């Protein structure tokens, strides 16, 4: 299997819970991966060029926007060429807000814009993952692995 990065931002732990489900799914499949966490690890956009495939998680802030700590990363991605790389995006939001999980859409479009092969399915979780949402996270890993097998 190609080298994989799971990258996420989480302030109150919900996106981290989604990331943990994804990480456990990779472990069950004996697939190796690296994990990087915004605000814990130094992360620059160009760092993702070391990987064949990236799964990125992020929560949504103020009117459907990106987390503050992801903004520089987002800007940096616009200078990259991610052709030949597989990317997927997941995140937590709150359906109370008009732009539910808007940051997931923003990041997804940015990866797509610079040529990444995107997993069609975005995972948007209302707060913390429960029931069907947990299975959706596991299905994301299935789709990711299938696409990585085809492309990379």
Ligand X SMILES: Cc1cc2nc3c(=O)[nH]c(=O)nc-3n(C[C@H](O)[C@H](O)[C@H](O)COP(=O)(O)O)c2cc1C
> Residues in the site for ligand X, rule: CB under 6 A?
10-16, 59-64, 92-94, 97, 99-102, 127
- Please identify, using beta-carbon distances, which residue of 12 and 78 lies nearer to ligand X: 12
Contact 19, 10 (CB under 8 A): yes
Minimum distance of ligand X from residue 5's CB (angstroms): 18
- Please identify, using beta-carbon distances, which residue of 14 and 117 lies nearer to ligand X: 14
Q: Which residue is nearest to ligand X (CB)?
A: 93
Enumerate residues 6+ apart whose C-beta is below 8 A from 80.
45, 46, 48, 49, 114
Minimum distance of ligand X from residue 1's CB (angstroms): 27
Q: What is the full DSSP assignment across 67-136?
A: PGGGHHHHHHHTT---TT-EEEEEEEE-TTSSSTTHHHHHHHHHHHHTT-EE-SPPEEEESS--THHHHH
Alpha carbon of 124 to those of 27, 117, 129: distances in Å? 22, 19, 9
Minimum distance of ligand X from residue 110's CB (angstroms): 17
- Please identify, using beta-carbon distances, which residue of 59 and 144 lies nearer to ligand X: 59
Minimum distance of ligand X from residue 145's CB (angstroms): 24
- Please identify, using beta-carbon distances, which residue of 88 and 102 lies nearer to ligand X: 102
């Amino acid at each position: 299997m190609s080298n994989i990065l799971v990258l996420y931002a989480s302030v109150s732990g919900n996106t981290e819970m989604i990331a943990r489900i994804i990480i456990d799914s990779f472990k069950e499949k004996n697939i190796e991966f690296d994990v990087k966490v915004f605000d814990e690890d130094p992360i620059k956009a160009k760092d993702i060029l070391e990987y064949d495939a990236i799964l990125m998680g992020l929560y949504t802030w103020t009117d459907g926007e990106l987390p503050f700590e992801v903004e520089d990363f987002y800007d940096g991605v616009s200078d990259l060429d991610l052709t030949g790389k597989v990317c997927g995006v997941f995140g937590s939001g709150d359906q109370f807000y008009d732009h539910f999980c808007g940051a997931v859409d923003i990041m997804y479009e940015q990866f797509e814009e610079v040529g990444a092969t995107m997993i069609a399915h975005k995972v948007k979780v209302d707060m913390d993952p429960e029931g069907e949402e947990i299975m959706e996270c596991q299905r994301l890993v299935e789709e990711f692995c299938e696409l990585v097998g085809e492309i990379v």
